[in-house]
A and B are shown apart, each in its own frame.
Chain A
């Protein structure tokens, strides 16, 4: 295979994932399981502009993205709709061919050896299912058994484990169309893991799930990563998924990698704020408590914005000590807001750790 790209770079880079990511970063301490080097995907979009007239336009869904993921890492891949997340995942599975750049998963070029790679990866698309809609869940698992040629004992063991941890025992004989969204999602996750994939791609695995289902899915993924060392790449809209699962987050927007580092760093870069909502015993003048500031007052309820990196506990303790507190809740900033702030920061030249 042609390894002409970055192998000669011997610069010693630490394992710190907050390290600035450049196009040629090569890290010899870690086993680079996933490698993207200036990967691009350009779509030709034809738009009708009149009778028999079409205009061709290039859309750069993924625009020169470079990153590496080490074996056993759990990485969140976030960004607004249409940012290029799913396109990246599709290139990683080999069903889309990059228009440019170099892409390797486990040393394999996905689009060239899609079938060989398929035995080593698992994929869950939150809004699609790999399960046979009309048949009982167990039939889909038997099909996986054949498709991935999983040895009998291994199949048994993995199935039993997934059934237990994902609580699928009562659902195996139920036709998939009768499952709830959360049940189906758990069923899909199990289906993606029966062949012991080394990496699991999850595209919006908690979308549309209720709180309990989300917690189950997250708990299972955490355990999978801890016990099996499965590398996980997760795209999501839900910052809590990232917070509870991933030590590292990558932000993509308009096809470009905007940030690569820990979630806390993202909040710093985005100067994002969390909101503490307090219910007081009675109507009072706005609470004064730096660095928090009151952004809204409605009767006895007040909204305090404070930097996301600050501890909410300390703030709550101080509020509780000085004011007649009845109830409270903390709201996390949403991804869109964080990214919007990141743009603002970048424009004013204070991009910090954001990569361009």
Chain B
């Protein structure tokens, strides 16, 4: 009850902290819009050659692109969420301050990341998506229930995304330099979430494996819901299972890390 209000305050702080950087937000909106245009024309060329690739028609493929651009920053698919700050705090030893606070480390950072996600969804997601929907033929559902299911799926995607990045960030306790891990997370995020191409497109074992990895919760699953290509309950179960597993793993690693922690500096 009382601690619930704390984490709401942390989330609100996360939202406002990102909201202070307006130039960065504007630049992000521009980048996502341009990148969306490039991808849309690439996809159109591809779907022209191979209609119904991955089970999508052209309008669905275009919608998929703009959805990806809209949630790319919010879900930190390529990284750069609160985990980069967490890594920096572990590296410099500022994490000591987070540790002596009467608050739970994982919940604290998850709340901060949720606040950031909400801001970036509104600040960076809405404009590219509206731009795409206005200029291209898209396939959006008319049924409010589908939209509601999509929102639930996005929320679960947010938790899965945080779960992955929190685990990676905690590894800084052992490796100290997070650059390599950041690059790997970015690559995995790009490819395995379906940011480059929908995962439905990939054939054989690779496709099967990549569709079962946690990253597919970030873009592929919510997109399939929005495009009417997936069953909501199955999607929720998949995302929910990964969310629980990742948060539990994060908790485990956190307790090991803080027990054997060598806080840097002094």
Name A's B-contacting residues (CB within 8 A). Answer: 43, 85-87, 90, 93-97, 114-116, 118-119, 121, 123, 125, 127-130, 132-135, 139, 142-143, 146-149, 175, 203
Q: How far is the CB of B19 from chain A (nearest CB, A)?
A: 9
**B9 pairs with A143, CB closer than 8 A:** yes
Known: A95-B258, A118-B101; 8 extra A-B contacts, CB below 8 A, are: A96-B263, A114-B99, A115-B102, A121-B100, A128-B97, A130-B101, A135-B13, A147-B101
Whether A128 touches B96, Cβ cut-off 8 Å, given contacts A95-B263, A118-B102, is yes
Residues of chain B touching chain A, judged by Cβ–Cβ distance below 8 Å, are 2, 5-6, 9-10, 13, 16-17, 20-21, 93-94, 96-97, 99-103, 258-259, 261-263, 265-266
Contacts of A128 in B (CB 8 A): 93-94, 96-97, 265
Among the listed B10, B16, B266, which residue makes an inter-chain contact with A85, where contact means beta carbons less than 8 Å apart? Answer: B266
Q: Is the CB of A134 within 8 A of B96?
A: no
| Closest residue of A by beta carbon distance from B6 | A146
Task: Report chain B residues within 8 Å CB of A148.
Answer: 102
Residue among B94, B101, B262 with the highest chain A CB neighbour number at 10 A:
B101
Inter-chain contact A149/B2, CB cutoff 8 Å: yes
Query: Which residues of chain A are near B259, meaning CB under 8 Å?
Result: 97
- Inside 8 A of B265's CB, which chain A residues have their CB? 86, 127-128
Q: How far is the CB of B262 from chain A (nearest CB, A)?
A: 6
The smallest beta-carbon distance between A326 and chain B, in angstroms, is 43
- With A and B bound together, what is the CA distance between A142 and B9 in angstroms? 8
Whether A90 lies near B96 (C-beta < 8 A) is: yes
A146 near B5 with CB under 8 A, answer yes
Most buried by B among A132, A139, A146: A146
Q: A142-B9, A146-B6 are in contact. Are A130 and B97 (CB under 8 A)?
A: yes
Residues of chain A within 8 A of B102, CB atoms compared: 115-116, 118-119, 147-148
- Nearest CB in chain B to that of A127: its residue: B265
Give the docked Cα–Cα distance between A231 and B32 (Å): 54
B101 contacts which chain A residues (CB < 8 A)?
A: 118, 130, 147
Q: When chains A and B are docked, how far (Å) is the Cα of A97 from the Cα of B262?
A: 10
A-B contact pairs, 17 of them (CB 8 A): A86-B265, A95-B261, A116-B102, A123-B97, A125-B97, A127-B266, A128-B94, A130-B97, A130-B101, A133-B17, A135-B16, A135-B17, A139-B16, A143-B13, A146-B9, A147-B101, A147-B102
CA gap between A115 and B94 in the complex, in Å: 18
- Chain B nearest CB from A175 CB (Å) reads 7
Known contacts A85-B266, A118-B101, A146-B9; A175 and B261 CB within 8 A of each other: no
A132 and B13 form a contact (CB under 8 A): yes
- Please, how many angstroms separate the alpha-carbon atoms of A262 and B20 in the complex? 50
Residues of B within 8 A of A43 (CB): 262
CB distance from B79 to the nearest CB of A (A): 19
By the criterion CB–CB under 8 Å, are B6 and A132 in contact? no
Cross-chain contact A143 with B266 (CB below 8 angstroms) = no
| A354 to B4 CA separation, bound complex (whole angstroms) | 51
Cα of A133 to Cα of B13 in the assembled complex, Å: 11
Q: How far is the CB of A132 from chain B (nearest CB, A)?
A: 6
Nearest-neighbor residue (CB-CB) of A175 within chain B: B20
Determine how close the nearest CB of chain A comes to the CB of B147; give it in whole angstroms.
Answer: 33
CA distance A128 to B100 in the complex (A): 13
Q: Which residue of A lies closest to B112 (CB)?
A: A132
Interface contact A96-B261, CB-CB below 8 Å: yes
Assembly CA distance A265 to B45 (angstroms) = 85
Nearest A residue to B262, CB-CB? A43
B8 nearest in chain A by CB position:
A146
Chain A min CB distance to B256 (Å): 13
- Which of these, A94, A96, A123, A134, contacts B20 with CB under 8 Å? A134
* Cβ–Cβ < 8 Å partners of B103 in chain A: 147
Contact A132 B263 (CB under 8 A): no
State the Cβ distance, A232 to closest chain B Cβ, in Å: 17
Q: When chains A and B are docked, how far (Å) is the Cα of A184 from the Cα of B94?
A: 16
**Are A139 and B13 in contact, with the CB atoms below 8 A?**
yes
CA distance A142 to B100 in the complex (A): 18
| Chain B residues within an 8 Å CB radius of A132 | 13, 17
Task: Evaluate contact between A95 and B17: CB separation under 8 angstroms.
Answer: no
Tell me the complex Cα distance, A93–B94, Å. 14
Chain B residues within an 8 Å CB radius of A121: 100
Nearest first, the 5 A-B pairs at minimum CB distance are A86-B266, A118-B102, A146-B6, A95-B99, A134-B17
Q: Given A95-B263, A135-B13: A147 and B97 within 8 A (CB)?
A: no
A121 to B16, CA, bound (A): 29
Alpha-carbon distance A129/B90, docked complex (angstroms): 14
Residues of A within 8 Å of B96, CB to CB, are 90, 95, 125, 128
- Closest-by-CB residue of A relative to B104 is A115
Bound complex: CA A114 to CA B261 (Å): 15
